[in-house]
Amino acid sequence: MKKLLTFTFILAVIMFQTDSLEAVKENTENDVMKEEISNNHKWKQTSSEMKMVHADSHDYDVWRNFIKKTVTCDITHKIKTEVWYCELHNHTKSEVSLEETIHSYKH
């Protein structure tokens, strides 16, 4: 009898969770539909910026004239940031992208 009650309880919990998951899916689908409908923006780029950011450094060994040297290589990221503005909805958005990874020594 105890096993039957436990099994019934577990089954009820599973059924409740699947119903709530379906409701969440429906709500998110409705939100996506609303965004697609109101997605008529007139985006204009307001600013663009390139920035060099020091990321890391590492040591590596090189051989010159049969002499082993340890050289430090600095890693720098070139990052581009763009800011966009929509006059219709008074929205802004920004896009950040990694343009290039630069090593101070070629190795």
- How much of the chain exceeds pLDDT 90, in percent? 53
Q: Total structural domains in the chain?
A: 2
What's the rounded mean pLDDT across residues 66-81?
95
Res. 10: pLDDT tops 80 = no
Residues 62 and 102 in one domain: yes
More confident residue, 41 or 47: 47
- Structural tokens at position 100: 């290039």
Residues 86 and 101 in one domain: yes
Q: Measured between alpha carbons, how far is residue 54 from residues 76, 78, 81, 101, 104 in Å?
A: 4, 9, 16, 10, 11
Contacts of 3 (CB under 8 A, 6+ apart): none
Compute the CA torsion angle 82, 83, 87, 89 (nearest 10 deg).
110
Residues 22 and 62 in one domain: no
The mean pLDDT value of the chain amounts to 81
Residues 49 and 101 in one domain: yes
More confident residue, 9 or 21: 9
Residues 62 and 72 in one domain: yes
Res. 37: pLDDT tops 50 = no
Residues 63 and 81 in one domain: yes
Say how far apart CA 53 and CA 80 lie, in whole Å: 11
What are phi and psi for residue 81, nearest 5 degrees?
-120, 125
Amino acid identity for residue 34 in this structure: K
What's the domain range around 90?
Answer: 40-107
